[in-house]
Structure 1
Amino acid sequence: MSSHNKDLQKLTAAGLLISLGIIYGDIGTSPLYVFKAIIGEGHAINEGVVLGGVSCIFWTLTLQTTIKYVMITLQADNKGEGGIFSLFSLVRRRAKWLIIPAIVGGCALLADGIITPPITISSAIEGLHSKYPGVPTMYVVLAIIVGLFFIQQFGTSLVGKAFGPIMFLWFSMMGVLGIGFIVQMPSILKALNPYYAYDLLASHGTHAAFGILGAVFLCTTGAEALYSDLGHCGRSNIRISWIFVKTCLILNYLGQAVWLMQHEGQVLDLNKMNPFYQIMPPWFLIFGIGIATVAAVIASQALISGSYTLIAEAVRLNLWPKVKINYPSEQKGQLYVPSINWIMCAGCIGVVCLFQESAKMEAAYGLSITVAMLMTTILVSKFLKRRKVPSYLINLFLVVYLLVEGTFLSGNLGKFVDGGWFTLSIGALLFGVMWSWHTARRIRNRYVKFVEIEDYYEVLKELSDDETVPKYASQLVYLTSANFNSEIESKIIYSILQKQPKRADVYWLVHVDVMDEPYTRDYEVDFLVPNKLIRIDFKLGFRVEQQINLLFRKVVEDLVKKGEVDITSRYKSLNQRKIVGDFRFVVIEKVLSRSHNLSLYERIIMAVHTQLKKVSISEERGFGLDLSFVTVEKVPLMLADPETVVINRVI
């Protein structure tokens, strides 16, 4: 972890401000639409619903956000990093099946990234209806979304520096506006009593109660971001800043409740009379809409950046096809993934065009993030077990949060027909991609044959010295998937000895291990045959860019400086002048030959993998190799043993 990142882990004023700008965009903009969703369109404002709604919001933020995420889940830091894939990396060695909740949770978060920008920006812009009833807000929302995704390629570090102060202004504004109405009806504070939440849910039928819970859940949808951005802000900064954020949120919800109580019995068009904007003084409304819009854009930016990080981690954990990843600024951790950017942009445009207004988007919102939270609960329970927390406490954690989140999931399932199908469909599609890529790799590895490398020491040494064979390269480098120094793929030996014998002064084997830690960047060197066969093992964190070309050259430079290896050209004319010999990388692409050995399920998986391979970048680009020094060799994976084939010779 960099010193800059270590500084952010400490409790500082700058760290608190940065955490406000990065983490709380989603959860911080929820007051724009939560009460609208709880009251529901076309329903008369009822005291029991208002008081019960505030009570449900308060206890949801307390149980779900404060206790589960801020107090418990933030303990699961992976060398200072958070997020569902960081959590998975901490516990994946405990059970193979944990890959399923990790993939499901990751896909749900990505699906949430497609619905969050449209609903937050729409909710903010629709405040214009209060002042200009006929304004076509949908086109304004589309313009903002397209502009937001367009600027991603240039980096957002400059704009990002302003996020913290703007979000501080946003939360302070919400708190002050809430207090302005609370003083008009101090008795509203009784709504914090959990009795009103119980009374609201008990007094309605099961169907209606689940519908209310689905709406209430929207107040905590950004809780997952608190954990995902742990590495950017640090546990202490998140915990302290959350006290301020939660206070401002509750004050604003209470203020909205007072305004609703003042209109008890009335049936209002909540799209045009959003309680959030109604508690603003008329003269301040246009400023409030402007600040809300900027806050909504910041919330969207946080989700978009989080999606890039999620995909980058998935690529390095072999859960997603290799895609191009850019680093548009020098700011640590800032990524830009072009393919995901434009897929998300198209998804957001589709959401706006399909649902058109925030009230209809609420039906699609919440379902996928509930699934993500359930998956996090499962993984956190395994983390607590790893930390040797007493079993009865782990079981209590599981029972409480599986019950709470299971109830919210049931409430959100009622939204399936009205829009929840959209995010679930997106999530299912993403799951299909991740699962197919992960499973296909396991199928392919099943048929990779390894041989003892020691058996080939002598022949490799003799080939290197055999001047009757044309020299292929001075330094020949192979990427190997063999985990042990004693092994090598039979296909590499075949490539060197049989598929055009490749004579070289030195043969290098390079292996990359993706570590469970995020930013590890270590290597080991093993001189299998001194000055003839050398193996380098890179141990890279799951958030480290795999620039093997640069890393390999750096290692070779260090070995040369220490006199451990001589890379001077062996050609006499060049050797006299101490000119460095040429390097060539060979990437062996294993092609799956057709066979009846695969089951129908495995054939489907491999067919999907083949199509995904066409749109992913090549192995050599994925490893950051200089293409002018790379040879790609395609070799078949023989799935059928030739000895089992019966054929008759006709004389």
Structure 2
Amino acid sequence: MSSHKNLHKLSAGGLLISLGIIYGDIGTSPLYVFKAIVGDGIITTDLILGGLSCIFWTLTLQTTIKYVIITLRADNKGEGGIFSLFSLVRRRAKWLVVPAMIGGAALLADGMITPPITVSSAIEGLRVFYPNLTTVPIVIAIISGLFLIQQFGTSFVGKAFGPLMFVWFSMMAVLGSVYIFQFPEILKAVNPYYAYHILATNPSALFILGAVFLCTTGAEALYSDLGHCGRSNIRISWIFVKSCLLLNYFGQGVWLWQHQGSPLGLDNPFFSLMPEWFLIFGICIATTAAIIASQAMIAGSFTLISEAVRMNLWPKVKINYPSNQKGQLYVPSINILLWVGCIIVVLIFRESRNMEGAYGLAINLTFLMTTILVAVFLKRKKVPTYLVVLFVSIYGVIELVFLVGNMAKFLHGGWFTLVLASILLSVMWAWSSARRIKNRYVRFVEIEDYFPIMSELSDDESVPKYASQLVYLTSANFISEIESKIMYSILQKQPKRADVYWLVHVDVMDEPFTKEYKVEFLIPNKLIRIDFKLGFRVEQQINVLFRTVVEELVHKGEIDITSKYDSLRKHKIVGDFRFIVLEKVLSRANTLRFIERVIMDYYFILKKFSLSEERGFGLDASFVTIERVPLIVSVPENSELTRISYPETIES
């Protein structure tokens, strides 16, 4: 824990880690932003000054003010990201789950486009030497290698990320500065008039806006990685990063100034800044930075999914922890999903210039959703209403204008991102909606009413013993209640005699790392309830947690788990434990509305691909019994029957 706190203090190490983890995405944007702004058009004074002015003010308003100054305040016990933000405000209103899900789905879709566009942009630099080079196989090989190493944990690579990104940013600053010294007048582009002028007069203003937006796409990663680096380190390192980015952009502006009146063609202003002798080194450094940017995006996607699983916004999936480093996790299913997505992007679009249209639209949606959630957070923090309204007005307008600009790219690849984000959103929506539908049909009964019969059953030797210790997972939030299905399972569906019945309840807390439990002896030595309070970043290994609590209770002499069988008790053998998991199935005779039936059908399809309940809760399969229970025990409305009597047989 102390090392975690140290990381959040301002330190040289923390600043270096920030460079390596956070700025990959935003730091590699100079590879393609100006190329996208100029596009197939002719290089003009307006385009250069207007483009630079737009980049300067976008980085200032979006990244610096919105994210670095305002959004980083919304930390959840040191953790950031759209789901951490949602967990801070979800008690305010139920509908806030919608922006959280849209933002999360869009961020995941973006994770499939970041590696292809950054790696392609870097590798295309080789065309200076080999004009007809086909980059697709090289890009696919690099991306595949990157996804392959995820399973081993990336902490060993991570240590080198900081120094490598420092080299990258320093290189960009030096390359840009050399050109700015040749033509310092380029700095007048800081004047916002040039941004206004180009957007008001250029017929391709929407396309330019969509291209400019690419310079800020990594801003969301700044906030998502708050837990890895700490607010102070991010804020201070951003000063260095922003300076390097702007120096490079303005340097590219000078190079373009020297080539006015001609089309850009296959030239990339970024690589054109490099002297010929340095090009091969520059391309290697750019490729390394692109891989680091992709790595940061993949790691961010793993964290995002693990949070979504805990919050019941995504099917339970296997999550591995390849190293002891905090926050290091690996989600095999998402690794495959992202890898396939990246390969499809490369095969469909082939060139980085074709990917520019697909990139940006998804992250634009995440920006908008973050604005909504931050506004609710500021309101909760009792920030004056007029300031909250000002925040929403300014960023709502900026991001909606960008959205219109990005929608102009819809036919040029934007459709792909929206399709991707929609599929991911549908999974989140179906999973959380199905949970609400299921909860509507869960019937709770007063547990006290069953105390006498459970005590009697436990002592009734005419019923064969089912297990010494019988454990049920319950969703009842109050200790006075229990699901009727659990009582049905114990008393009627093959009566289950046990020495001790355990009820285990898990509450996912809004804080990230809470680990607490409470024990309630409902019937002394017969019925015990354990309530776990676990943060949304804590792995729900119920088997391990339950065993830890039982050992502690035995150690304190609060319970005795020695077997009651005479032969085993004599030798102080511990009794057996058995978990019962009740799996809900949809009966044919259900009264669901059509849309609910569709959601439940989709949910059960997703369930086939997700982890089973026992594996999701980390239970040992050899101690688990699965019981299938109908979700809804209801009688269809038209089920009335009329009894008819047979006519009496007439004796002959």
Normalising to structure 2: TM-score of the pair?
0.98
What pairs with 1:103-252 in structure 2 (closer than 5 Å)?
Answer: 103-205=101-203, 208-252=204-248
Give the Cα separation in 2 of the matches to 1:267 and 1:537.
67
Are residues 1:25 and 2:24 paired?
A: yes
Give 1:368 deviation, angstroms: 0.5
SS at the partner of 1:162?
helix
Number of the residue aligned with 1:14 = 13
User: 2:52 touches 2:190 (CA, 8 Å); kept in 1?
Assistant: yes
Give the Cα separation in 2 of the matches to 1:473 and 1:640.
32
Give the Cα separation in 2 of the matches to 1:70 and 1:332.
23
Number of the residue aligned with 1:435 = 429
Give the Cα separation in 2 of the matches to 1:349 and 1:371.
23
Give the Cα separation in 2 of the matches to 1:56 and 1:638.
57
Higher mean alpha-carbon deviation, 193-202 vs 53-62, is at 193-202
Q: Residues 643, 374 of structure 1: CA spacing in aligned structure 2 closer, same or farther, 3 A cutoff?
A: closer
Number of the residue aligned with 2:371 = 377
Give the Cα separation in 1 of the matches to 2:436 and 2:590.
18
Number of the residue aligned with 2:649 = none
Give 1:577 deviation, angstroms: 1.8
Number of the residue aligned with 1:352 = 346
- Give the one of 58, 61, 72 matched to 2:59: 61
User: 1:444 touches 1:592 (CA, 8 Å); kept in 2?
Assistant: no
- Give the one of 255, 262, 284 matched to 1:266: 262
User: 1:152 touches 1:336 (CA, 8 Å); kept in 2?
Assistant: yes
User: 2:591 touches 2:636 (CA, 8 Å); kept in 1?
Assistant: no
Are residues 1:612 and 2:609 paired?
A: no
SS at the partner of 2:353?
helix
Give 1:204 deviation, angstroms: 1.5
Are residues 1:629 and 2:630 paired?
A: no
User: 2:563 touches 2:572 (CA, 8 Å); kept in 1?
Assistant: yes
User: 1:597 touches 1:639 (CA, 8 Å); kept in 2?
Assistant: no
Give 1:648 deviation, angstroms: 2.7
Residue by residue over 1:152-178, the C-alpha shift from the partner in whole angstroms, topping out at 9 and shown as x without a partner, is 111111011100000011001100111
Give 1:570 deviation, angstroms: 0.9
Are residues 1:366 and 2:360 paired?
A: yes
Give the Cα separation in 2 of the matches to 1:568 and 1:453.
26
SS at the partner of 2:103?
helix
Residue by residue over 1:232-274, the C-alpha shift from the partner in whole angstroms, topping out at 9 and shown as x without a partner, is 00000000000000000000001000000011111231x3x10
Number of the residue aligned with 2:480 = 486
Q: Residues 347, 643 of structure 1: CA spacing in aligned structure 2 closer, same or farther, 3 A cutoff?
A: closer
Give 1:650 deviation, angstroms: 3.8
SS at the partner of 1:377?
helix
Give 1:644 deviation, angstroms: 7.6
Q: Residues 596, 559 of structure 1: CA spacing in aligned structure 2 closer, same or farther, 3 A cutoff?
A: closer
Number of the residue aligned with 2:648 = none
Q: Residues 204, 642 of structure 1: CA spacing in aligned structure 2 closer, same or farther, 3 A cutoff?
A: closer
Number of the residue aligned with 2:650 = none
Task: Give the counterpart letter for 1:256 in structure 2.
Answer: Q
Task: Give the counterpart letter for 1:190 in structure 2.
Answer: K
- Give the one of 518, 521, 525 matched to 2:515: 521
User: 1:569 touches 1:579 (CA, 8 Å); kept in 2?
Assistant: yes
Number of the residue aligned with 2:271 = 277
User: 2:581 touches 2:625 (CA, 8 Å); kept in 1?
Assistant: yes
Number of the residue aligned with 1:410 = 404
What pairs with 1:318-357 in structure 2 (closer than 5 Å)?
Answer: 318-357=312-351
Give the Cα separation in 1 of the matches to 2:636 and 2:495.
24
User: 2:589 touches 2:636 (CA, 8 Å); kept in 1?
Assistant: no
Residue by residue over 1:606-642, the C-alpha shift from the partner in whole angstroms, topping out at 9 and shown as x without a partner, is 1111111111110000000011100000011234247
Number of the residue aligned with 1:560 = 554
User: 2:111 touches 2:297 (CA, 8 Å); kept in 1?
Assistant: yes
User: 1:511 touches 1:536 (CA, 8 Å); kept in 2?
Assistant: yes
Higher mean alpha-carbon deviation, 634-643 vs 433-442, is at 634-643
Give the Cα separation in 2 of the matches to 1:572 and 1:586.
25
Q: Residues 358, 457 of structure 1: CA spacing in aligned structure 2 closer, same or farther, 3 A cutoff?
A: same
Give 1:547 deviation, angstroms: 0.2
Q: CA RMSD in A?
A: 1.0
Number of the residue aligned with 1:600 = 594
Unaligned runs of 5+ in 1: none
Number of the residue aligned with 2:295 = 301
Give 1:4 deviation, angstroms: 2.1
Give 1:456 deviation, angstroms: 0.4
Give the Cα separation in 1 of the matches to 2:263 and 2:326.
51
Residue by residue over 1:429-471, the C-alpha shift from the partner in whole angstroms, topping out at 9 and shown as x without a partner, is 0111110010011111111111000000111011111111111
Task: Give the counterpart letter for 1:16 in structure 2.
Answer: L
SS at the partner of 2:66?
helix
Q: Residues 188, 476 of structure 1: CA spacing in aligned structure 2 closer, same or farther, 3 A cutoff?
A: same
Residue by residue over 1:198-230, the C-alpha shift from the partner in whole angstroms, topping out at 9 and shown as x without a partner, is 11112213xx11111100000000000000000
Residue by residue over 1:501-537, the C-alpha shift from the partner in whole angstroms, topping out at 9 and shown as x without a partner, is 1111100000000111111111111110111000000
Give 1:596 deviation, angstroms: 5.1
User: 1:496 touches 1:502 (CA, 8 Å); kept in 2?
Assistant: yes
Task: Give the counterpart letter for 1:250 in structure 2.
Answer: L
> How many residues are treated as equivalent by the alignment?
645
Unaligned runs of 5+ in 2: 646-652
What pairs with 1:65-76 in structure 2 (closer than 5 Å)?
Answer: 65-76=63-74
